[in-house]
Amino acid sequence: MKKVVIASNNPGKLRELQALLRPLGLDAVAQGELGVTEAEEPHGTFLENALAKARHASRATGLPALADDSGLCVQAIGGEPGVHSAYFAGREGTREERDARNNAQLVERLRGVEDTSAFYYCVLVLVQSAEDPVPIVADGRWQGRMIDIARGKGGFGYDPYFVPAGSGFTAAELDAVDKNRVSHRAQALVALAAVVAKHRGDLASR
């Protein structure tokens, strides 16, 4: 089983990615377990941030690295919080405290807004080395809408306020297995797996 370092310290993302990668025969290890600190994410696009994180983790470990950059985009407020989803309401406090502030700020921004259409977006970048000139890139988009009262105890981030299109449940009310079949991260990984399968021989020789 090939070892791949996941360039994230977000426990929610790690749980989802490890569950999704296992069937692909990839032994996914979190960068934190290898002593790798989180990379800076100064860029204005998900893709640029994901690539920076993947190269950082690979450079620090000498292993292939998979990075995810994802977030929530709400149409009525110009696509925010977007790449700033994790720190929409500031960087202070624990992850749980930031999530609570982020959600409170988003609910306030959407107060009185009729069209709360939104989507979760995820881009995955896989590099074989820190200087890999041809990283594998795949993305996924999960359409839905926002509500103003939290529902559900699962998931993380904005999940208690996000109702996927065609569903009566929030992302936080979905069983983890069900979420991992349909989420933006799952869609991106399916796309990534297809590219990896297509170029498996090329990748093995690099």
Q: What is the pLDDT of residues 133-167, one digit of tens each?
A: 999 999 999 999 999 999 999 989 999 999 999 99
Q: Domain boundaries in the chain?
A: 2-204
Annotation: CATH topology of 2-204? Maf protein (3.90.950)
pLDDT at 187 over 60: yes
- Rounded-to-integer distance, Cα 35 and Cα 141, Å: 31
pLDDT higher than 70, residue 175: yes
| Token pair belonging to 7 | 């360039």
- List active site positions: 69
Say how far apart CA 69 and CA 51 lie, in whole Å: 9
| AA letter at 126 | L
Does the pLDDT of residue 204 top 60, yes or no?
Answer: no
Residue 203 has pLDDT above 60, yes or no: no
Residue 38 confidence (pLDDT) = 83
For the chain, the average pLDDT equals 90
**Total residue length of the chain:** 206
Query: Could you tell me whether strands 2-6 and 65-74 are parallel, antiparallel, or unpaired per DSSP bridges?
Result: parallel
Q: Which helix (H) or strand (E) holds 141?
A: strand 136-146
Predicted local confidence at residue 49, as pLDDT: 95
Q: Say yes or no to pLDDT of 199 above 90.
A: no
Tokens of 37: 């600190």
Give me Rg for the CA atoms of the chain. 17
pTM attached to this predicted model: 0.86
Alpha carbon distance 183, 178 (integer Å): 9
Phi, psi of 84 (to 5 degrees): -100, 15
**Rounded-to-integer distance, Cα 14 and Cα 17, Å:** 5
pLDDT of residue 205: 46
Sequence-ordered alpha helix ranges (H) in 41-94: 46-61
* 110 DSSP 8-state letter: T
CA gap 30, 9 in Å, rounded: 7
Instruction: Express as a percent the part of the chain with pLDDT over 90.
Output: 67
By CB neighbour count within 10 A (0-12 exposed, 13-18 middle, 19+ buried), where does 31 fall? buried
Q: Which residue has the higher pLDDT, 46 or 15?
A: 46
pLDDT surpassing 90 at residue 169: yes
